[in-house]
Amino acid sequence: MMPRINRFRQRSVLAPALCALLAVACSPPRDLRPDLNRDVWPPRLFSVAMATPQELTLEFDKPVTVVVDSLAVELFDETSDEQDDDSPGIRVARDGESEVRLAFDQPTRPGVRYSVGAAVEDSRGNSLQLVAFAYGYNDRVPRLQINEFITRRSANHPEMAEVLVLSDGNLGGITVTNGTKSDYTDRFIFPSVEVRAGEFMLLHFRPEGAEHEISEFGTELDLSGGLNAQDHARDIWIPGAAGLPGNNGVLAIWEHPAGHPIDAVAWTNRTSASDERYRGFGSSRMERWVDELVDAGAWVIEGLSPRPEDLIWIDYSTATRSMNRSPGAANTRSASDWHTAPTRGSSWGEENTTEVHTP
Protein backbone atom coordinates (compact mmCIF):
# COMPACT_ATOMS: atom_id res chain seq x y z
CA MET A 1 0.00 0.00 0.00
CA MET A 2 1.44 3.37 -1.05
CA PRO A 3 2.06 5.82 1.82
CA ARG A 4 -0.07 8.92 1.90
CA ILE A 5 1.65 12.24 1.31
CA ASN A 6 1.27 14.79 4.03
CA ARG A 7 0.45 17.76 1.81
CA PHE A 8 0.28 20.16 4.72
CA ARG A 9 3.81 19.26 5.81
CA GLN A 10 5.06 19.56 2.23
CA ARG A 11 3.64 23.07 1.99
CA SER A 12 5.16 24.02 5.36
CA VAL A 13 8.63 22.89 4.20
CA LEU A 14 8.49 24.70 0.86
CA ALA A 15 7.16 27.96 2.21
CA PRO A 16 10.33 29.13 4.05
CA ALA A 17 12.45 28.29 1.03
CA LEU A 18 10.15 30.26 -1.24
CA CYS A 19 10.20 33.23 1.15
CA ALA A 20 14.02 33.14 1.21
CA LEU A 21 14.12 33.11 -2.58
CA LEU A 22 11.73 36.05 -2.80
CA ALA A 23 13.82 37.95 -0.26
CA VAL A 24 16.92 37.52 -2.39
CA ALA A 25 15.07 38.43 -5.57
CA CYS A 26 13.64 41.58 -4.05
CA SER A 27 16.83 42.87 -2.37
CA PRO A 28 19.00 45.53 -4.14
CA PRO A 29 21.58 43.95 -6.54
CA ARG A 30 25.16 43.85 -5.28
CA ASP A 31 27.71 45.80 -7.38
CA LEU A 32 30.03 43.14 -8.84
CA ARG A 33 32.15 45.55 -10.84
CA PRO A 34 35.02 45.73 -8.31
CA ASP A 35 35.33 41.94 -8.42
CA LEU A 36 35.22 41.88 -12.22
CA ASN A 37 37.95 44.52 -12.43
CA ARG A 38 40.19 42.75 -9.94
CA ASP A 39 43.19 41.02 -11.54
CA VAL A 40 42.86 37.31 -10.78
CA TRP A 41 45.12 36.00 -13.56
CA PRO A 42 48.62 34.60 -12.96
CA PRO A 43 51.54 36.31 -14.70
CA ARG A 44 52.40 35.12 -18.20
CA LEU A 45 55.98 34.60 -19.40
CA PHE A 46 56.64 36.19 -22.80
CA SER A 47 60.35 35.67 -23.46
CA VAL A 48 63.63 34.30 -22.09
CA ALA A 49 67.03 35.58 -23.22
CA MET A 50 70.64 35.89 -22.12
CA ALA A 51 71.36 39.63 -21.84
CA THR A 52 75.05 39.30 -20.87
CA PRO A 53 77.37 36.38 -20.13
CA GLN A 54 76.04 36.39 -16.54
CA GLU A 55 72.48 37.77 -16.77
CA LEU A 56 69.25 36.09 -17.85
CA THR A 57 66.15 38.19 -18.58
CA LEU A 58 62.56 36.98 -18.18
CA GLU A 59 59.83 39.18 -19.66
CA PHE A 60 56.29 38.94 -18.27
CA ASP A 61 52.97 40.58 -19.12
CA LYS A 62 52.92 42.52 -15.82
CA PRO A 63 55.30 43.56 -13.01
CA VAL A 64 56.30 40.62 -10.81
CA THR A 65 58.60 39.79 -7.93
CA VAL A 66 60.52 36.55 -7.50
CA VAL A 67 59.46 34.40 -4.55
CA VAL A 68 62.29 34.12 -2.02
CA ASP A 69 64.24 30.84 -2.17
CA SER A 70 62.42 29.65 -5.31
CA LEU A 71 65.41 29.90 -7.67
CA ALA A 72 67.17 26.76 -8.90
CA VAL A 73 69.46 26.11 -11.87
CA GLU A 74 70.71 23.00 -13.68
CA LEU A 75 73.13 22.59 -16.60
CA PHE A 76 72.94 20.09 -19.46
CA ASP A 77 75.64 19.07 -21.93
CA GLU A 78 73.90 19.35 -25.32
CA THR A 79 76.13 16.71 -26.90
CA SER A 80 74.99 14.06 -24.39
CA ASP A 81 71.83 15.71 -22.93
CA GLU A 82 73.05 14.78 -19.45
CA GLN A 83 72.93 16.97 -16.38
CA ASP A 84 76.15 18.81 -15.50
CA ASP A 85 77.04 18.72 -11.81
CA ASP A 86 78.85 22.07 -11.98
CA SER A 87 75.72 24.24 -11.68
CA PRO A 88 76.35 27.90 -10.80
CA GLY A 89 74.63 29.94 -8.13
CA ILE A 90 71.89 32.35 -9.17
CA ARG A 91 70.25 35.39 -7.57
CA VAL A 92 67.75 38.14 -8.36
CA ALA A 93 69.43 41.16 -9.93
CA ARG A 94 66.20 43.08 -10.55
CA ASP A 95 62.47 42.43 -10.15
CA GLY A 96 59.32 44.41 -9.40
CA GLU A 97 58.96 45.22 -13.10
CA SER A 98 57.69 43.26 -16.10
CA GLU A 99 61.32 42.38 -16.96
CA VAL A 100 63.09 40.30 -14.32
CA ARG A 101 66.88 39.93 -14.37
CA LEU A 102 68.60 36.95 -12.81
CA ALA A 103 72.37 36.93 -12.28
CA PHE A 104 74.62 33.85 -12.31
CA ASP A 105 77.64 33.89 -10.01
CA GLN A 106 79.94 33.01 -12.95
CA PRO A 107 79.85 33.60 -16.73
CA THR A 108 77.69 31.13 -18.62
CA ARG A 109 79.34 28.70 -21.03
CA PRO A 110 78.50 29.01 -24.75
CA GLY A 111 76.50 26.06 -26.05
CA VAL A 112 75.55 24.76 -22.59
CA ARG A 113 71.82 24.57 -21.82
CA TYR A 114 70.72 26.19 -18.54
CA SER A 115 67.45 25.18 -16.90
CA VAL A 116 66.23 27.81 -14.42
CA GLY A 117 63.30 27.18 -12.07
CA ALA A 118 61.53 30.04 -10.30
CA ALA A 119 58.25 31.21 -8.81
CA VAL A 120 56.99 34.77 -9.35
CA GLU A 121 53.93 36.67 -8.16
CA ASP A 122 52.25 39.96 -8.99
CA SER A 123 51.10 42.68 -6.57
CA ARG A 124 47.80 40.86 -5.89
CA GLY A 125 49.47 37.57 -5.03
CA ASN A 126 48.71 35.81 -8.31
CA SER A 127 51.64 33.45 -8.82
CA LEU A 128 53.34 31.42 -11.53
CA GLN A 129 55.85 28.60 -11.21
CA LEU A 130 58.09 28.20 -14.24
CA VAL A 131 61.07 26.43 -15.75
CA ALA A 132 62.95 28.49 -18.35
CA PHE A 133 65.62 27.21 -20.73
CA ALA A 134 68.46 29.29 -22.17
CA TYR A 135 71.85 28.65 -23.73
CA GLY A 136 75.08 30.10 -22.46
CA TYR A 137 75.88 33.56 -23.80
CA ASN A 138 78.11 33.58 -26.88
CA ASP A 139 79.75 36.94 -27.64
CA ARG A 140 81.99 35.45 -30.35
CA VAL A 141 79.46 34.19 -32.91
CA PRO A 142 81.34 33.67 -36.19
CA ARG A 143 80.03 34.63 -39.61
CA LEU A 144 78.89 31.49 -41.43
CA GLN A 145 77.65 30.83 -44.94
CA ILE A 146 75.79 27.84 -46.38
CA ASN A 147 78.04 27.10 -49.33
CA GLU A 148 76.85 23.88 -50.99
CA PHE A 149 74.08 21.33 -50.47
CA ILE A 150 72.26 18.34 -51.94
CA THR A 151 68.67 17.29 -51.22
CA ARG A 152 68.27 14.46 -53.77
CA ARG A 153 70.21 11.57 -52.38
CA SER A 154 71.57 8.32 -53.75
CA ALA A 155 72.80 5.21 -51.93
CA ASN A 156 76.33 6.64 -51.66
CA HIS A 157 75.50 10.34 -51.45
CA PRO A 158 72.94 11.15 -48.73
CA GLU A 159 71.64 14.65 -48.06
CA MET A 160 74.22 17.08 -46.68
CA ALA A 161 75.24 20.71 -46.59
CA GLU A 162 78.58 22.49 -46.51
CA VAL A 163 79.07 25.57 -44.33
CA LEU A 164 81.97 27.95 -44.86
CA VAL A 165 83.36 29.75 -41.78
CA LEU A 166 83.98 33.41 -42.69
CA SER A 167 85.40 34.66 -39.37
CA ASP A 168 86.98 33.27 -36.21
CA GLY A 169 84.63 32.53 -33.33
CA ASN A 170 82.82 29.99 -31.20
CA LEU A 171 79.89 27.86 -32.38
CA GLY A 172 78.36 27.44 -28.92
CA GLY A 173 74.57 27.75 -29.11
CA ILE A 174 74.45 28.29 -32.88
CA THR A 175 71.42 26.43 -34.18
CA VAL A 176 70.86 24.66 -37.50
CA THR A 177 67.29 23.90 -38.53
CA ASN A 178 65.75 21.79 -41.26
CA GLY A 179 62.89 24.29 -41.34
CA THR A 180 62.80 27.45 -39.23
CA LYS A 181 63.54 28.19 -35.59
CA SER A 182 59.84 28.07 -34.68
CA ASP A 183 58.91 25.01 -36.78
CA TYR A 184 61.45 22.44 -37.87
CA THR A 185 61.82 18.80 -38.83
CA ASP A 186 65.35 18.54 -37.42
CA ARG A 187 67.34 20.88 -35.20
CA PHE A 188 70.96 20.81 -34.07
CA ILE A 189 72.50 23.11 -31.44
CA PHE A 190 76.28 23.35 -31.41
CA PRO A 191 78.30 22.87 -28.26
CA SER A 192 81.26 25.16 -27.61
CA VAL A 193 83.57 24.71 -30.63
CA GLU A 194 86.36 27.09 -31.65
CA VAL A 195 86.53 27.67 -35.42
CA ARG A 196 88.77 29.69 -37.71
CA ALA A 197 87.99 31.65 -40.86
CA GLY A 198 88.36 29.49 -43.97
CA GLU A 199 87.22 26.22 -42.34
CA PHE A 200 84.58 24.04 -43.96
CA MET A 201 81.93 22.17 -41.97
CA LEU A 202 79.97 19.30 -43.47
CA LEU A 203 76.52 18.77 -41.97
CA HIS A 204 75.33 15.21 -42.59
CA PHE A 205 71.52 14.99 -42.52
CA ARG A 206 71.12 11.21 -42.91
CA PRO A 207 73.49 9.44 -40.51
CA GLU A 208 73.44 5.64 -40.53
CA GLY A 209 74.24 5.40 -36.83
CA ALA A 210 77.64 3.81 -37.43
CA GLU A 211 80.33 4.12 -34.74
CA HIS A 212 82.73 5.79 -37.17
CA GLU A 213 80.29 8.67 -37.77
CA ILE A 214 82.05 10.93 -35.28
CA SER A 215 81.17 14.62 -34.99
CA GLU A 216 84.46 16.53 -34.95
CA PHE A 217 84.11 19.21 -32.27
CA GLY A 218 87.82 19.46 -31.51
CA THR A 219 90.94 20.26 -33.51
CA GLU A 220 91.28 16.84 -35.18
CA LEU A 221 89.33 16.74 -38.43
CA ASP A 222 90.18 13.22 -39.59
CA LEU A 223 88.30 11.27 -36.90
CA SER A 224 85.13 10.60 -38.81
CA GLY A 225 84.25 7.97 -41.36
CA GLY A 226 80.92 7.46 -43.09
CA LEU A 227 79.44 8.46 -46.43
CA ASN A 228 80.94 11.67 -47.82
CA ALA A 229 83.08 12.30 -44.71
CA GLN A 230 86.19 14.34 -45.49
CA ASP A 231 89.49 14.41 -43.59
CA HIS A 232 90.10 18.08 -44.45
CA ALA A 233 86.71 19.37 -43.22
CA ARG A 234 84.80 19.32 -39.93
CA ASP A 235 82.18 16.54 -40.17
CA ILE A 236 79.04 17.01 -38.07
CA TRP A 237 76.38 14.28 -37.96
CA ILE A 238 72.89 15.59 -37.16
CA PRO A 239 71.47 13.12 -34.57
CA GLY A 240 68.22 11.46 -35.62
CA ALA A 241 67.97 13.37 -38.91
CA ALA A 242 66.28 11.55 -41.80
CA GLY A 243 67.39 13.77 -44.67
CA LEU A 244 66.41 17.07 -46.26
CA PRO A 245 63.22 17.59 -48.31
CA GLY A 246 64.03 16.67 -51.91
CA ASN A 247 61.83 19.22 -53.70
CA ASN A 248 60.65 21.93 -51.29
CA GLY A 249 62.53 22.89 -48.18
CA VAL A 250 64.36 25.37 -45.99
CA LEU A 251 67.74 25.11 -44.25
CA ALA A 252 68.73 27.86 -41.83
CA ILE A 253 71.41 28.79 -39.29
CA TRP A 254 70.54 30.98 -36.26
CA GLU A 255 72.67 32.72 -33.62
CA HIS A 256 70.93 30.60 -30.95
CA PRO A 257 67.62 28.71 -30.75
CA ALA A 258 65.62 31.95 -30.50
CA GLY A 259 68.17 34.22 -32.19
CA HIS A 260 68.61 36.16 -35.40
CA PRO A 261 69.40 34.35 -38.66
CA ILE A 262 73.02 33.92 -39.74
CA ASP A 263 72.28 32.39 -43.16
CA ALA A 264 69.57 30.40 -44.92
CA VAL A 265 68.60 28.74 -48.18
CA ALA A 266 65.16 27.87 -49.56
CA TRP A 267 64.50 25.66 -52.59
CA THR A 268 61.58 24.39 -54.65
CA ASN A 269 60.49 22.71 -57.86
CA ARG A 270 57.15 24.55 -57.93
CA THR A 271 55.80 27.76 -59.43
CA SER A 272 53.01 30.17 -58.58
CA ALA A 273 50.89 28.32 -61.15
CA SER A 274 51.43 24.89 -59.56
CA ASP A 275 48.15 25.21 -57.66
CA GLU A 276 45.89 27.87 -56.21
CA ARG A 277 46.44 26.91 -52.58
CA TYR A 278 49.37 28.07 -50.42
CA ARG A 279 50.49 30.55 -53.12
CA GLY A 280 51.91 27.64 -55.12
CA PHE A 281 54.30 26.44 -52.36
CA GLY A 282 52.55 23.07 -52.18
CA SER A 283 51.85 23.01 -48.42
CA SER A 284 50.92 25.38 -45.64
CA ARG A 285 54.11 24.42 -43.79
CA MET A 286 56.40 25.38 -46.68
CA GLU A 287 54.46 28.60 -47.08
CA ARG A 288 54.99 29.42 -43.38
CA TRP A 289 58.69 28.54 -43.54
CA VAL A 290 59.33 30.91 -46.43
CA ASP A 291 57.27 33.69 -44.86
CA GLU A 292 59.26 33.36 -41.63
CA LEU A 293 62.60 33.54 -43.44
CA VAL A 294 61.52 36.63 -45.36
CA ASP A 295 60.13 38.33 -42.24
CA ALA A 296 63.40 37.63 -40.40
CA GLY A 297 65.46 39.14 -43.23
CA ALA A 298 67.08 35.78 -43.97
CA TRP A 299 65.78 35.61 -47.55
CA VAL A 300 65.29 38.44 -50.04
CA ILE A 301 62.43 38.47 -52.55
CA GLU A 302 61.60 40.64 -55.54
CA GLY A 303 57.94 41.49 -54.90
CA LEU A 304 55.80 42.30 -51.90
CA SER A 305 54.89 38.68 -51.11
CA PRO A 306 57.07 35.54 -51.37
CA ARG A 307 56.51 33.32 -54.40
CA PRO A 308 58.04 29.98 -55.40
CA GLU A 309 59.90 31.87 -58.12
CA ASP A 310 61.89 33.64 -55.38
CA LEU A 311 63.47 30.35 -54.29
CA ILE A 312 66.36 28.25 -55.61
CA TRP A 313 65.23 26.03 -58.50
CA ILE A 314 66.13 22.52 -57.38
CA ASP A 315 64.96 20.41 -60.33
CA TYR A 316 68.34 20.22 -62.09
CA SER A 317 70.20 18.95 -59.03
CA THR A 318 71.02 15.30 -58.28
CA ALA A 319 73.08 13.42 -55.71
CA THR A 320 76.26 14.44 -57.59
CA ARG A 321 75.01 17.75 -59.00
CA SER A 322 75.05 19.89 -55.87
CA MET A 323 73.75 23.41 -55.46
CA ASN A 324 76.73 25.79 -55.24
CA ARG A 325 77.57 29.37 -54.44
CA SER A 326 80.15 30.97 -56.70
CA PRO A 327 83.49 31.31 -54.85
CA GLY A 328 84.02 34.81 -53.45
CA ALA A 329 80.66 36.13 -54.63
CA ALA A 330 78.57 38.36 -52.38
CA ASN A 331 75.84 36.72 -50.31
CA THR A 332 72.64 38.52 -51.32
CA ARG A 333 70.45 36.00 -49.48
CA SER A 334 68.54 35.27 -52.67
CA ALA A 335 68.22 32.61 -55.37
CA SER A 336 70.55 34.55 -57.66
CA ASP A 337 73.52 33.45 -55.48
CA TRP A 338 73.13 29.81 -56.51
CA HIS A 339 73.85 27.56 -59.49
CA THR A 340 73.69 23.82 -60.15
CA ALA A 341 77.11 22.19 -60.48
CA PRO A 342 77.71 19.78 -63.37
CA THR A 343 77.48 16.02 -62.83
CA ARG A 344 80.16 14.89 -60.35
CA GLY A 345 80.93 18.55 -59.74
CA SER A 346 80.43 18.45 -55.97
CA SER A 347 83.40 19.77 -54.01
CA TRP A 348 82.82 18.94 -50.35
CA GLY A 349 85.27 20.68 -48.05
CA GLU A 350 86.93 22.55 -50.91
CA GLU A 351 86.35 25.67 -52.97
CA ASN A 352 83.23 25.36 -55.12
CA THR A 353 83.32 24.90 -58.86
CA THR A 354 82.33 27.80 -61.07
CA GLU A 355 81.08 25.43 -63.76
CA VAL A 356 77.33 25.37 -64.28
CA HIS A 357 75.15 22.44 -65.30
CA THR A 358 73.49 22.95 -68.68
CA PRO A 359 70.10 21.21 -68.93
- Please tell me whether residues 162 and 234 are part of one structural domain: yes
Task: Please indicate, yes or no, if residue 187 is contained in any of the structural domains.
Answer: yes
Please indicate, yes or no, if residue 233 is contained in any of the structural domains. yes
Q: Which residue range is the domain that position 60 belongs to?
A: 45-135
pLDDT at 39: 75
Q: How many CB atoms lie within 10 A of CB 229?
A: 22
pLDDT tens track for 222-248 = 999 999 999 999 999 999 999 999 999
* DSSP output for 248-292: SEEEEEESSTTS-EEEEEEEES--TTS-SGGGGTSSHHHHHHHHH
pLDDT band, very low/low/confident/very high, at 32 (cuts 50, 70, 90): low
Residue 28 resides in a domain: no
pLDDT at residue 10, as a whole number: 42
93 and 150 belong to one structural domain? no
Q: Are residues 166 and 313 in the same domain?
A: yes
Q: Name the residue among 163, 109, 161 with its Cα closest to residue 136.
A: 109
**Claim to verify: residue 286 and residue 211 sit in the same structural domain:** yes
User: pTM of the prediction?
Assistant: 0.83
* Rounded-to-integer distance, Cα 193 and Cα 236, Å: 12
What pLDDT, on the 0 to 100 scale, is given for residue 13? 42
> Could you tell me how far CA 162 lies from the centroid of its own chain?
20
Residue 319 contacts residue 154 (beta carbons within 8 Å): yes
In percent, the amount of the chain with pLDDT more than 90 equals: 81
Please state the domain count of the chain: 2
pLDDT of residue 7: 42
Asked if 112 and 183 sit in the same domain, the reply is: no
Looking at 87, 117, 135, the residue that finishes a domain is 135
Residue 82 has pLDDT above 90, yes or no: no
Does a structural domain hold residue 6? no
Is 350 part of a structural domain of the chain? no
In a domain, 299, yes or no: yes
- Kindly state whether residues 299 and 189 are assigned to the same domain: yes
Alpha helices in the chain (DSSP H): 7-26, 33-37, 284-295
| CATH number of the CATH domain containing 172 | 2.60.40.1260
Q: What is the DSSP string of 144-164?
A: EEEEEEE-S--SSS--EEEEE
Mean pLDDT of 64-90: 80
| pLDDT confidence tier of residue 289, bands split at 50, 70 and 90 | very high
Whole-number pLDDT of residue 221? 96
Do 118 and 151 fall within a single domain?
A: no
Residue 355 lies in a domain: no
Indicate which CATH number applies to the domain containing 87.
Answer: 2.60.40.1220
Q: What is the pLDDT of residue 81?
A: 53
Find the mean pLDDT for residues 182-208. 96
Tell me: pLDDT of 12 over 60. Answer: no
Separation of alpha carbons 291 and 140, rounded Å: 29
Residues 307-348 pLDDT 10s: 999 999 999 999 999 999 999 999 999 999 999 999 999 999
Q: What is the mean pLDDT of the chain?
A: 90
Q: Is the pLDDT of residue 8 over 70?
A: no
| Same domain (yes/no): 188, 51 | no
Residue-wise pLDDT for 144-153, tens only, equals 999 999 999 9
156 with 128, same domain: the answer is no
In a domain, 21, yes or no: no
Backbone dihedral region for residue 257 (phi beyond 0: left; psi -120 to 50: alpha; all else: beta): alpha
Residues 193 and 336 both lie in one domain: yes
161 and 259: one domain?
yes
Comparing CA positions, the residue from 192, 130, 167 lying closest to residue 262 is: 167
Does 113 have pLDDT greater than 60?
yes
Same domain? 160 vs 296:
yes
Q: Is the pLDDT of residue 22 over 70?
A: no
